[in-house]
Amino acid sequence: MTPATALSRSPWQSARWLVLAPHADDETLGTGALIADTAARNRLAGVMILTDGSGSHPCPTPADRSTLIRRRRGEARHAVALLTGGRRIVPRFLDWHDANPHRPGSAAFRRSVRQLATLLRRHAVDAIATTAAGEPHCDHAACSRLRCRPRAPRTGRSRFSNMPSGANAPRAGASFAPRQCRQPGARPRFARTAAS
């Protein structure tokens, strides 16, 4: 395990960061301090969330599923707004179904790669904070695969920091707490701010 390094002592301190989270709430629990710190210094390019959140509760009907997706999105927007202090950073959603990731090479996977590449280019992203390779949850593993595809515009390649494990995540004063991903059907956990 590599010891965590404070972002203030990292060569990536002034990088423009993108957070790529598998599920709504991973962005806050995994990188809340990074989001708050980089937003305060105008170094946060954006927050992108891979899945639609539909797997956190049983949804007997399509209407229930739509309601749950809206609620999860709303929670993520609210959490990011709190962390960024009203700097109008709005999470983007790739809308993959929970626990049913697209296969690499599929049309849907390639479409998400293009969306990610567009964001990297448009917002001059230098570094991506996302899940580590080898994460056990399929959506976390998918995030790690997805982030390997596009390349950052300025450096020719993106630098990656592993988000949920906390082992290599750059810190902004607070620890990145290790966590286990919520499994579909399990009791939900709600997003908390980085200070909690």
Q: How many other CB atoms are found less than 10 A from the CB of residue 133? A: 12
The residues pairing with 128 across neighbouring beta strands, listed in sequence order, are 18, 160
CB 120 within 8 A of CB 157: no
| CA–CA separation, 116 and 25 (whole Å) | 19
| CA–CA separation, 192 and 125 (whole Å) | 26
List contacts with Zn ion (CB under 5 A): 22-23, 26, 181
* Residue 22 or 170 with smaller CB distance to Zn ion: 22
The least CB distance from residue 179 to Zn ion, in Å, is 8
CA 145 to chain centre: 13
Distances (CA, A) of 110 to 28, 113, 193: 27, 5, 33
The least CB distance from residue 38 to Zn ion, in Å, is 21
The least CB distance from residue 129 to Zn ion, in Å, is 14
Name the residue whose CB lies closest to Zn ion.
181
The least CB distance from residue 60 to Zn ion, in Å, is 23
